[in-house]
Structure 1
Amino acid sequence: MKYSGGPRPGYKTPGSSGADLCARIDHDITIPPGGWALIPTGIRVQIPPGYEGQV
């Protein structure tokens, strides 16, 4: 994983199964039901063939 500033991903509660990500934005974003948005997090990952990543 490569990281480019802002709050780092991390496990915020004991027993968490996944890391919490923070948005790197300077304004509020409202996503309507059924909508989508591209939200920058400041991380980049390279996933090898045969593996998957989930957000």
Structure 2
Amino acid sequence: MPQLDFTIWLFNLTTNWLILTTLFVSFCNSQTTANITSNPKALSQENTPKWNWI
């Protein structure tokens, strides 16, 4: 059944995307936390990345 195969493929793709996105966000958050704890001036304007929307 091609329709079922496509549905399973789409489900696997979505699941992989969610897992990778979660891992990437967790890694970025841990890096940001490490920078803040190790650098007292991490919250200053020049060290804040422009894309940081958290």
Q: Which has the higher contact order (CA 8 A, sep 6+)?
A: 1
TM-score of the two chains, using structure 2 as the length reference: 0.19
TM-score of the two chains, using structure 1 as the length reference: 0.19
Structure exhibiting the larger radius of gyration computed from Cα positions: 2
